[in-house]
Amino acid sequence: RQKGAVVVDDLKIDNIDEIINGQSEAIALNFEFKLSLNAYLKDLITSPVKSLADVIAFNNKHPELEKMEYGQDVMVEAEKTDGIGEAQTQALLNLTRWSQDGFEKLMKMNKLDAVVTPFSSFSSILAIGGYPGVSVPAGYDEKGMPFGICFGGLKGSEPKLIEIAYSFEQATLIRKPPKVGMYLK
């Protein structure tokens, strides 16, 4: 605000609960992940793995080579899918409609250049709708761990988002270069 930004508080994105907590995102993630990864891997010339199933098998056979701190549940669930059927098509239609009736409507009705939020789930909303976003450092918690905020906008607003994010960074000068090993304790 001190640098000239007009801030509109307490805005609510319609359908936010369906977007974040519904099953449509998981359905879309699983089948799109499998199809996209399989297409990518199949074109690799020297790779011993050619599919998501191969990746899962490799990880199971060589756990010492892959740090699977969070397991591979997402990959296993994605492997269970078998392409785009009725449920997947409906999930994509729901997500598209919720994005347009939620985030896009909010932006247009309020004539916003960007939405800014500290919530990490906001990046999912942007990704689902194919909207651009940029995250920048916003501060540090009591243990010195950095956290950020996300600026999101409508399709085609990338130059404006970069301008806004850069202005925020220059106005706050929050970012400090990390010290090697500071988070290893």
* pLDDT band for position 2 (cuts 50, 70, 90): low
| 71 and 51 assigned to the same domain | yes
The confidence score (pLDDT) of residue 19 equals: 66
Cα distance between residue 57 and residue 59, in whole Å: 5
| 96 and 130 assigned to the same domain | no
Closest by CA position to 51, among listed 62, 36, 61: 36
In a domain, 182, yes or no: no
pTM value is 0.68
Query: For the chain, what is the mean pLDDT?
Result: 84
**Residue at 141: amino acid letter:** D
| 76 and 136 assigned to the same domain | no
Domain tally, the chain? 2
Q: By the 8 A CB rule, do 91 and 27 touch?
A: yes
Helix (H, G, I), strand (E, B) or coil at 169: helix
| 22 and 90 assigned to the same domain | yes
| 100 and 124 assigned to the same domain | no
Q: Which residues of 80-89 are buried (b: 16+ CB within 10 A; e: fewer)?
A: ebeeeeeebe
The confidence score (pLDDT) of residue 11 equals: 80
Q: By the 8 A CB rule, do 183 and 15 touch?
A: no
Chosen domain end from 83, 105, 127: 105
In a domain, 180, yes or no: no
The confidence score (pLDDT) of residue 84 equals: 80
pLDDT in tens, 62-89: 888 777 777 889 899 889 988 787 888 8
**Residue at 128: amino acid letter:** I
How many CB atoms are located within 10 Å of the residue 55 CB?
Answer: 19
Query: What are the start-end ranges of the E strands in 60-160?
Result: 115-117, 133-140, 146-152
Cα distance between residue 38 and residue 71, in whole Å: 20
Q: Is the pLDDT of residue 4 over 90?
A: no
In a domain, 8, yes or no: no
In a domain, 2, yes or no: no
Lowest pLDDT segment from 25-29, 35-39, 151-155, 156-160 = 25-29
In a domain, 183, yes or no: no
Cα distance between residue 148 and residue 136, in whole Å: 5
Structure tokens at 67: 């740090």
The confidence score (pLDDT) of residue 182 equals: 56
Domain that holds residue 86: 14-105
Q: What is the mean pLDDT of residues 40-60?
A: 93
Dihedral pair phi/psi, residue 147, rounded to 5°:
-135, 160
In a domain, 132, yes or no: yes
The confidence score (pLDDT) of residue 81 equals: 86
Closest by CA position to 76, among listed 52, 98, 47, 43: 52
Q: Is the pLDDT of residue 51 over 80?
A: yes
CA 121, chain centre distance (Å): 7
Chosen domain end from 105, 127, 143: 105
Identify the residue with better confidence: 24 or 42.
42
The confidence score (pLDDT) of residue 49 equals: 93
Beta strands 146-152 and 115-117, pairing class? antiparallel
| 50 and 121 assigned to the same domain | no
Identify the residue with better confidence: 144 or 132.
132
pLDDT in tens, 97-131: 877 778 888 899 999 999 998 866 778 788 878 89
| 92 and 118 assigned to the same domain | no
Structure tokens at 15: 């359908």
